Amino acid sequence: MSTPILDIRNLSVDFRQEKDLIPAVQDVSFQLMPGETVCVVGESGSGKSVTSLAIMGLLVPTAQLRGEIWFQNPNRNAAPVNLLGLPPDDRRAYRGGQIAMIFQEPMTSLNPVYTCGSQVVEAIRLHSPVSEEEAHRQAIDLFREVKLPEPEAMMERYPHQLSGGQIQRVMIAMALSGNPALLIADEPTTALDVTIQATILELLREVRSRRQMSVLFVTHDMGVVSEVADRVVVMYRSKVVEVANAYDLFAQPQHPYTKGLLNCRPTPERRLHRLPTVSDFMQVKATPEGTVQIEPQPRSVIDNNPRFTPVSAAEQADRYQQLIQRLPLLSVHHLSKSYPVRSGLFGRKTFFNAVDDVSFDVYPGETLGLVGESGCGKSTLSRVLLRLVEPTAGEVMFDGKSVFQLNESELRKLRQEMQIVFQNPYGSMDPRQSIGSALIEPMMIHHIGHSHQERYQKAVALLERVGLDESAMSRMPHEFSGGQQQRICIARTLTCNPRFIICDESVSALDVSVQAQVLNLLKDLQQDFGLTYIFISHDLSVVKFVSDRIMVMNQGKIEEIGTADQIYTSPTRDYTRQLIRAIPSATLDEIQERSRLINA
C-alpha cells in the first residue's frame, strides 16, 4: 500500500466574527493517494474551498486552525511533513512549487497590466534558478503542453485579449511551472461554457496522467465529478458526510445529501415535471445541544410524488400545439447588430456581426431556450430585443407593435411588460439600497399602486411568493446567499407586472441544488402569472428541462430551432451535436472502466 501524498486529519477551521467563532470546517479527515483524483463536492458554504485554502496556507491570518495536514511528495525522498506545523517561510517553499492551485475565476488570478508570458516566466523563475531566456523557453513549452494555440504569440498577449478557456489554460500552465506533485483545482470550470469545460477537463486528465500528479478537484457539479473522480468526498455544512470511490458513490449513494445532489441536476435524457431538491431527500433538525441532526426523508416522498415523474411525449406535444395556436407575443424579423472594429496597420474599419440576420417567434406562455457558447450572440440579442442596444437592421414586434418605432414614453410603458433577469444577482442590485427600496422603486417609476403602503404590501407578497419573508425588506443585498439574491431579482422583475421575461444565464452561477429551486420557481411563476420566457444558457441540460422549444446560436446566426426533444434527440447540425456531447455525465460503465484502467 503506497503512502498518501496528502493525509488530512481532524482539520477544523474557525473564523472570528466580532466576539463569535464561526466554524467553516469541522473535524474533516480524508486521504489523497499518488496519481489519484479526489473530488471534494458540496454546495457553497459546505467548507470545501476553505479546506483547499487551508492546504495551501492561504487563509486569512485571523482564521483559527486545528488538526493536521500531512504532505509527502512521492518524487522526493523526504519524510512526511505536517504543513500546519511549519513556520510561514517554510510553508511558502511548498506553495506553488510542490503544491499548486487553480482558482475558479482565472481573470482575477492574472495581473491585467502584464502579458501572460511574463507572468508564467516569473512563476518559473520563482521556483527554479534558471535564466530569463530558459524560463521563456519553458513557458512556451508549458503553453504548448496545455494546448494554447500559437504559444509564441500567446506569450505577448494580455489577459483581456484571451477567451475564458484560454485564460484558464494559462493558469494551468502557471500551476505546472513548479512541477507540482499535488494540483488543487477549485471550481476551475464553473465559469466556462460546457464545450470549453469539456476540453479543460480532458486537459487536466491528460496532464495528470503524463506528469503522474495527484489532483484535488473542488466542485459542486456531480456531472463534472462523474467525469474526473477516482474517489469522492462529500461535504455538507462544514463536515464530511460521505467518502467513497466514484463508482460506489454513483451506484449506491449512502447519505441523503449525496442522493439529493445526484438527483437535483436536470438530465437531458429524462425530463421531469419538477426537479427534486436536497430538502426532498432529507430533514435537517436542530437538537437541544445546538447541533444539527440529519434524517432521511421516507422514500415514498419522492416515489409517490407526481411532480417528480417524467413528462410524457404526449404531454409535450399537446402543450406545443396549444402554444402555437395563438398569435406570437414576440416576432423577430431579420435582426442584426454589428460593431465597428479597427484592424491592420492603418486601423482599417471593419464590422463584427454579433447578431446576424436572426428571425424567430415566441408564443404567449412559451419558454424558448437559447443556447450557444460565449460570443455566439445570445446576450447581445437579448439586449437588442429590449432595446437596451439599438439594432443595425431588422424589426422586433411585441404584441403587434414595433419595438424600434416607439417614442420614449411608449418605450417606458413597454419596459413594464418586458423584463430581464441577469446572471449575477449581486451585481444587479445597488449594494447601498435595502431590498424593500429595490422592490418599491420600480413600482414608483411606473406608477404602480396608489400609495406606499400598497406598494409595500405587494413587495412583501412577491417576496413570499419567491420563498422569502417580510424580514428581507429591511436587509441589504450582501446579507443574502446567491440563490436568495436571485430570488429577490426575480421578485423585482415581477413588481412591474411583466408579460415577457428574458433570463440571461440566471442560474449559471448557482449551486445545483439552489439552481433546481430557482428553475422550479420560474416554472411555477410562469404558470401563476402567465409569463413568457426566453431562457438563455450554455447548459443544454438546464435548457431542455425548462424549455418548450430550443434555439441554438453560433457566431451570431441561428443554427437550428425546434422542440426541446427534437433538438436533443435528433439534432440536424454538427454544432448542436457538439454541445450535447460536451454535457458532463459519465455512465456507471464509463466510471467503472476508468477505475479499472487507473488500478491496472
pLDDT in tens, the chain (600 residues): 478 999 999 999 998 877 788 899 999 999 999 999 999 999 888 899 999 999 999 998 889 999 999 999 887 778 899 999 999 888 888 988 899 999 877 777 899 999 999 999 999 998 888 999 999 999 999 999 999 989 999 999 999 888 778 898 999 999 999 899 999 999 888 767 888 888 889 999 999 999 989 999 999 888 889 999 999 999 998 999 999 999 999 999 999 999 999 988 888 888 888 888 888 888 887 777 667 778 887 765 666 676 778 888 889 889 999 999 999 999 999 999 998 876 665 667 788 889 999 999 999 999 999 998 888 889 899 999 999 999 999 999 999 999 999 998 899 889 899 999 988 888 889 999 999 999 999 999 999 999 999 999 999 999 999 988 999 999 999 888 778 888 999 999 999 999 999 999 888 777 888 888 889 999 999 999 999 999 998 888 899 999 999 999 999 999 999 999 999 999 999 999 998 888 887 788 888 887 776 665
| Non-local CB neighbours of 35 within 8 Å, separated by 6+ positions | 208, 212, 213, 214, 598
Helices 435-445 and 482-494 meet at what angle, rounded to 10? 20
State the pLDDT at residue 22.
85
State the pLDDT at residue 327.
94
Query: What are residue 351's DSSP bridge partners?
Result: 340
State the pLDDT at residue 597.
67
Quote the Cα angle for 537-538-542, to 5°. 65
For residue 443, what are the CA distances in angstroms to 353, 429, 495?
Answer: 37, 16, 6
State the pLDDT at residue 347.
65
Query: What are residue 537's DSSP bridge partners?
Result: 371
Q: What's the rounded Cα separation, in Å, for the pair 28 and 236?
A: 11
DSSP SS3 for 553: strand
Q: Give the position of cell 455544512.
A: 237
Quote the Cα angle for 206-207-209, to 5°. 65
Q: With residue 558 as reference, give the H or E element that holds it.
A: strand 557-563
Q: What's the rounded Cα separation, in Å, for the pair 259 and 241?
A: 12
| Non-local CB neighbours of 184 within 8 Å, separated by 6+ positions | 52, 55, 56, 99, 100, 101, 102, 215, 216, 218
Grid cell digits, residue 214: 495527484
Q: Give the position of cell 494559462.
A: 170
Q: What's the rounded Cα separation, in Å, for the pair 175 and 299?
A: 45
DSSP SS3 for 85: helix
Q: Provide the whole-model pTM.
A: 0.86
Amino acid at the residue 366: E
Q: Give the position of cell 518524487.
A: 75
Q: What's the rounded Cα separation, in Å, for the pair 194 and 373?
A: 8
Q: What's the rounded Cα separation, in Å, for the pair 365 and 360?
A: 16
Helices 452-465 and 435-445 meet at what angle, rounded to 10? 120
State the pLDDT at residue 303.
67
DSSP SS3 for 235: strand
State the pLDDT at residue 297.
77
Grid cell digits, residue 190: 464553473
DSSP single-letter state for residue 245: E
State the pLDDT at residue 220.
86
